[in-house]
Structure 1
Amino acid sequence: MPNRRGLAALTAAVSLTASACGGGAAIGADGGNAHPRTLTYWASNQGASLADDRRVLAPELARFQRRTGIKVKLEVIGWPDLLNRVLAATISGQGPDVLNIGNTWSASLQATGALLPFDARLLTAIGGRNRFAPAALAATGAAGRDPAAVPLYSLSYGLYWNRALFRRAGIPRPPTTWAELTADGRRLTGGGHYGLAIEGGNYAENAHHAFILGRQHGADFFTADGRPRFNTPQAVAAVKQYVDFMAKDRITAPDDAEYAAQQSLQDFATGRAAMLMWQSAASSLKAHGMPGDAYGVAPIPFQTANASGPARVDSMVAGINLAVFRNSQNHDGAVKFVRFMTSTAEQKTLNAAFGSIPPVKDAQDDPAFATPDLTTLRQVLAHGAAPLPQVPDESQFETLVGTAMKDLFADAAAGRPVTDASVRAALTKAQQQLPTS
């Protein structure tokens, strides 16, 4: 049966009904292979649109069917809806056979018992643990437990900068510290342009940047035993620094407070903003008409030059994991599908199409992943990225802290003051919303 602490942690932030998803048996059922010729697959939106994902995935799913005789019924789900859909399936036991999850949710979903653990036998069945990059495996569930899912697409954050706008402003290179970014942003703001585009209405983006800046400030949002610490002075400093790009520094447009569906990508691609912090944005920028030679990609800045030690974190370990729903009626087919999607050939095809980094090491040698932008992002992932806390309440951290930051951005956009006290109050309220049992 699912772990009730995990379920409580996952469900408190959203209002869901079991009717949101269909098919399958109750969680805790043995699963098995009652429907060996079909699979249902929930894919996350990786491309410029849901239709773009279907276009990329359709021929690969057809190839899998030719090899195995198993038909895959595909549904691509946008990021604003994906976690709610997964939570509804987790609660009701009515879900797909195979699903993509944000890798930051791995430990939270693991705690529910809804996902099939990838124990030694299953890892062997898909080629073994050693095929995957260590950074990607670090975001597959709690330490010391079998992975709740396996890496499918790896991502890291980078600072995208518009070459023409930088050149016009007389700025020779991208910033390496936040002080430089703020100063550059002010020079780049004006005449219909802003220095930095953000997604202030996107709780996940907010929480990711709170984590990155939090690590740079020395914040730990959870203790070693998983207790929340959302409102420490270091956490307050990190969140205020991010919101201050709009509230104090004025290098971010007030409209960005409402952005939640990749509008910041469009603003960057069309020259309305000169900088963007994003995970592997190349394919989306291309879809918005921005050629690859129009921008550069650099690591996200640090608090100080030559930062070292725990403060030298400039990304979270971002990416997508592939999971098997425990109540799947086709466990054997689901594992075959995971093996297919994580095969070296498919890893090259899919990650090249979506502009992400293959978590399978053998696939990374392909020239498609040696472009200047992906080379930078690979180096960040290997040397500067840290996994979000692999604790049951991690998804709650994203939802609650990210939503608190959304409210703070709304204050900033409306001209209301954002202070240390108001940030601390918002983070305290977020922590108080966590379930206690």
Structure 2
Amino acid sequence: MRRSRAADPRGRAADRGSRTVTLTGLVAATALTASLTAACGGGTSTDTEGGNTDPKTLTYWATNQGASLEHDKKVLTPELKKFERQTGIKVKLEVIPWSDLLNRILAATTSGQGPDVLNIGNTWSASLQATGALLPFDDKTFAKIGGKDRFVPSALASTGTAGKDPAAVPLYSLAYGLYYNKARFDEAGIDEPPATWSELVAAGRKLTKGGKYGLAVEGANLAENSHHAFVFSQQHGGDFFDSEGKPTFTTAANVKAVKQYVDLLAGDKIAAPGNAEYAQNQSLKDFATGKAAMLLWQAADTTLKSHGMKPGDYGIAPVPVQSGAPGQGRNVNSMVAGINISVFKNSDNLDGALKFVKFMTSDTEQKHLNSTYGAIPPVKSAQDGGTFSTPAQKVLRETLATSAAPLPQVPDESKFETLVGTAMKELFADAAAGRQVTEKSVRDRLAKAQQQMQS
């Protein structure tokens, strides 16, 4: 969720697509308890210790990281064949779109018809951890996949509730960047990408003319909305939950944050009114075709290429902050985005599942898959090399290392993404329809979301 890639859960991804899920599914996620006993996996074992009735098979649900589900299958299938040659274990692959993934996971926990291993948006980690359905990665389990110290600390921070054994391990790390069209910038006489939001708005106004706009947003993408709300809130010194995990949606900082983001379309008018209806990856096409000159996204390279845009046509800069470094407030300019890989606790092939996780997080696979998807390896030893040392990747690596923050690791995080994302979708719709977006209207929408969160 995001997309996130995370967002998202655009908890996001390469190009995670929309991390949008139904509210019904999210409520169900938080309602499930640790007493889940449904068996998920490839076998039919009756062994209460989780024995391997069929140790030569695994089922794997992968997330949509590339331009299409078919593209992901082409990327992953050779790697799964490699794993089979190394271990003798055959992996049955299904790539699941983000719009379906969480509900599929929930159905698996209750029906017993699910995978052994699955990808999740990292922003969902605490929510899914609360169900009790995922295998905890304690020290003993981490040792089976090469050790906990191999992973980047910021990526590990988005694997579950603090103080508990992680419910997943990082697979692909992502951060938001500001993508900008070099030709459009040259035409407008803009010498360098904006570093603050006031500079971005000023540049966006120069770029908005002749049916083209300065920035593309996705106003109907719930995960993208919530991710940007979180970042803006951090920059204004706020948060959406207090230290006890209770929602604080209507604080002055959060109202200011949501209004500032929605105002990119509503007040500043540097995004097209039609962007209010964009829900999944449509903004990338606008950017790739020159209709929009800037884009806030995670690992968009694969999708931009599918739309005919070459890497040399655009640059990637850090997402702007409020008033420069150190400036006012916090300089958080991205959530810690990415994809985690998890194991169902009741899998009939736990040994094979952990071998597969070890394979997917090996240096070789981390370098190959993250470079293919335009992501950053969360395994420290896999980050060396030319692919991850380009100027663009350096920007994203620096963001993850110094200025990204994990979304709240609370059990209701998934519900937060849906409710706040929906409130912002409604505000974008108001703006597109010509209705004024005010601090009061923002506060009212957030108050409604908070009330639903607490019900």
Normalized against structure 1, the TM-score is what?
0.93
CA distance in structure 1 between the partners assigned to 2:391 and 2:261 by the alignment: 27
Deviations 1:203-242 (A, max 9, x none): 0000000000010011111111111111111101100111
CA distance in structure 2 between the partners assigned to 1:309 and 1:137 by the alignment: 28
Deviations 1:5-37 (A, max 9, x none): xxx996328999xxxx986789x9753322211
- 3-state secondary structure, aligned to 2:453: coil
For residue 222 of structure 1, what is the amino acid of its counterpart? F
Q: 1:251 aligns with which of 270, 275, 282?
A: 270
Deviations 1:279-324 (A, max 9, x none): 1212221221111111111101111122358611000000000000
Where does the alignment leave 5 or more consecutive residues of structure 2 unmatched? 1-22, 32-38
Structure 2 partner of 1:261 = 280
Aligned pairs for 1:118-157 within 5 A: 118-157=137-176
Q: 1:285 aligns with which of 304, 326, 338?
A: 304
- 3-state secondary structure, aligned to 1:12: helix
Structure 2 partner of 1:186 = 205
Structure 2 partner of 1:79 = 98
Deviations 1:224-264 (A, max 9, x none): 11111111111011001111111111111111111112010
For residue 81 of structure 1, what is the amino acid of its counterpart? D
For residue 310 of structure 2, what is the amino acid of its counterpart? P
- 3-state secondary structure, aligned to 1:166: helix
CA distance in structure 2 between the partners assigned to 1:425 and 1:230 by the alignment: 10
Runs of 4+ in 1 over 6 A off after TM superposition: 13-16, 21-26
Taking a change above 3 Å as real, the CA distance of residues 57 and 47 of structure 1, as seen in their structure-2 partners, is: same
CA distance in structure 1 between the partners assigned to 2:30 and 2:163 by the alignment: 32
Structure 2 partner of 1:242 = 261
- 3-state secondary structure, aligned to 2:130: helix
Aligned pairs for 1:27-426 within 5 A: 30-307=49-326, 311-426=330-445
CA distance in structure 2 between the partners assigned to 1:397 and 1:355 by the alignment: 28
- C-alpha deviation, 1:108, in angstroms: 0.8
Is 2:27 aligned against 1:12?
A: yes
Contact 1:10-1:108 at 8 Å conserved across structures: no
- 3-state secondary structure, aligned to 1:347: helix
CA distance in structure 2 between the partners assigned to 1:14 and 1:419 by the alignment: 33
Taking a change above 3 Å as real, the CA distance of residues 260 and 30 of structure 1, as seen in their structure-2 partners, is: farther
Structure 2 partner of 1:5 = none
Structure 1 residues 298-307 or 308-317, which shifts more? 308-317
Cα RMSD after superposing both structures: 2.2
For residue 115 of structure 1, what is the amino acid of its counterpart? L
CA distance in structure 1 between the partners assigned to 2:256 and 2:93 by the alignment: 43
Contact 1:10-1:396 at 8 Å conserved across structures: no
Deviations 1:143-186 (A, max 9, x none): 11111000000000000000110110011111111111111111
- C-alpha deviation, 1:40, in angstroms: 0.9
Contact 1:9-1:108 at 8 Å conserved across structures: no
Taking a change above 3 Å as real, the CA distance of residues 309 and 319 of structure 1, as seen in their structure-2 partners, is: farther
For residue 137 of structure 1, what is the amino acid of its counterpart? L
Contact 1:13-1:399 at 8 Å conserved across structures: no
Contact 1:345-1:363 at 8 Å conserved across structures: yes
Contact 2:41-2:347 at 8 Å conserved across structures: no
CA distance in structure 2 between the partners assigned to 1:181 and 1:431 by the alignment: 31
Aligned residues: 424
CA distance in structure 2 between the partners assigned to 1:389 and 1:9 by the alignment: 21
Normalized against structure 2, the TM-score is what?
0.89
Structure 1 partner of 2:20 = none
Structure 2 partner of 1:428 = 447
Where does the alignment leave 5 or more consecutive residues of structure 1 unmatched? 1-7
Deviations 1:78-99 (A, max 9, x none): 1222222223323444321100
Contact 1:50-1:76 at 8 Å conserved across structures: yes
Structure 1 residues 286-295 or 113-122, which shifts more? 286-295
Contact 2:30-2:131 at 8 Å conserved across structures: no
- 3-state secondary structure, aligned to 1:243: helix
